[in-house]
Chain A
Amino acid sequence: MTENTSVRWVAGLSNGETLVEGKGVVEKIKGEDSPWLKLQNYLKENNLTIQSFGLWAGDKHFNLPSLKPRFGGQAPIGYDCHRYYAGDVLAGGGSSEHYICAEAIYPSYKVQLWVDLMDTNKSWIDVK
């Protein structure tokens, strides 16, 4: 299951901190919670919220709308992030797909930003 580890989520918090997946309090340590789960715990324990959220793929920064949208759009009410895998099983593995998805959540829909973990030059925006 090929996964490009250079793509990381970046969260700007209500206390002014910027957390980068895999670093600091959201460091990825074998056997511990994933960085995303650590972020959720950190927010809860410190009564913080995410103010801005995006994905960094090396020098490429893909940003979702923040709580103070840069271009005057609607502010989301929350964020989510997950990775998605799809692949043939057995018989040689065959084709597979692997993406990271960052979501800006609105009251009745969400805006999704997808980046291909196997080719980070490819990204998509979806509204669900």
Chain B
Amino acid sequence: MALTQTWVLQGTSPTTIEATDSIALFNGTFGGAITVNAYNDSTHVRSSGGTDDSSANTPNNVKFISQSSGTGGDSQADWGDGTEDLDALTTAEAPLKLTVAYDSNITISDAILYAYDGTTPATAPTDMDVYLAEVTDTNWTNADGSAAALGLADKSTPGTSHDYFVAISIKPTTVGVKSANKLRIEFTYQ
């Protein structure tokens, strides 16, 4: 009875994010610092050894542009084609694909995803803002801490595998590496 989750950074080719890897967001170049109070221009998979595992895969990147300046109050983002309403993002364009799998058919409900300081789930990540959105969401969720989590759509059709497509954009608020912060997921299944 094995419940598994697989994270992939999508792109021209997918990069599987292994258990010891991390998602690294930079200024367009692996290792390049994002200016304080600006947003990421590239998303990468960083190995535990510090190398760019996604360098050959042209990974997707989604950049926060606005919270509510789009059509009808939609959020805006840039994923390589200029500024667009966030809800125009397709599953193929989303940076992150999460697959939750089980060996028999299950449904999943009440799934949430959020960032935290790496120590206490209720505490916002340190010195950065994390914005998350599931594909088709109209607005970003500033998912800093468990109380502000992004709610993911229920998977009410039984299946052995369920996919979630998520955009992530971050804004550092101080200078320095922010590697202590983490993403956390919670869900129920039956």
B1-40 CB mask vs A (1 if < 8 Å, else 0) is 1111101000000000101111100000000000000000
Q: Interface size class for chain A? A: 20 to 34
Query: Which residues of chain B have C-beta atoms less than 8 A from A36's C-beta?
Result: 190
The answer to the question of B183 belonging to the interface, with a C-beta cut-off of 8 Å to chain A, is yes
**Is B158 positioned at the interface, with any CB of A under 8 Å from its CB?**
yes
The number of inter-chain residue pairs (CB within 8 angstroms) is 94
> Is A24 in contact with chain B by the CB < 8 A criterion?
no
Contact A92 B48 (CB under 8 A): yes
Contacts of B109 in A (CB 8 A): 82
Residue contact B7 to A32, C-beta cutoff 8 Å: no
CA distance A101 to B21 in the complex (A): 31
Whether A82 contacts B4 in the complex (CB less than 8 A), given A28-B104, A31-B104, A92-B20, comes out as no
Q: Indicate if A88 sits at the interface (CB-CB under 8 A).
A: yes
B186 interface neighbour in A33, A80, A86, Cβ under 8 Å: A86
CB atoms of A32 and B5 under 8 A apart: no
- For the complex, give the distance between the alpha carbons of A82 and B111 in Å: 13
**Cβ-defined contact, A83 with B158, below 8 A:** no
C-alpha gap A101/B118 in the complex (Å): 26
- Is B107 an interface position by the 8 A CB rule? yes
- Which bracket fits the contact residues of B? 35 or more
Residue of A nearest to B111 (CB): A85
A34 lies within 8 A of B158 (CB):
yes
Query: Which of B23, B105, B118, B184 has a CB less than 8 Å from the CB of A34?
Result: B105
| CB 8 Å contact bits of B76-118 with A (1 = contact, 0 = none) | 0000000000000000000000100011111101000000001
A81 on the B face (CB < 8 A): yes
- For residue A50, give the distance in angstroms from its CB to the closest CB of chain B: 14
Query: Which one of A28, A29, A82 lies within 8 Å of B189 (CB-CB)?
Result: A82
Asked if B188 lies at the interface with its beta carbon under 8 angstroms from chain A, I say yes
Interface residues of A in 14-48 (CB under 8 A from B): 28-37
Q: Are B3 and A1 in contact (CB under 8 A)?
A: yes
B184 x A91 contact (CB < 8 A)? no
CB-contact partner of A89 in B106, B185, B189, B190, under 8 A: B185
Closest to B1 in A: A5
* Known contacts A28-B1, A81-B190, A90 near B22 by CB under 8 Å: yes
Q: Which residues of A contact B (CB under 8 A)?
A: 1, 3, 5, 28-37, 80-94, 101
**21 A-B residue pairs with CB within 8 Å:** A1-B2, A28-B1, A30-B103, A36-B190, A37-B106, A80-B190, A82-B188, A82-B190, A83-B188, A84-B187, A84-B188, A85-B3, A85-B186, A85-B187, A85-B189, A86-B186, A87-B5, A87-B184, A88-B118, A89-B184, A90-B17
- Given contacts A31-B160, A81-B190, A86-B186, 4 further A-B pairs with CB under 8 A are A5-B1, A33-B105, A34-B105, A80-B190
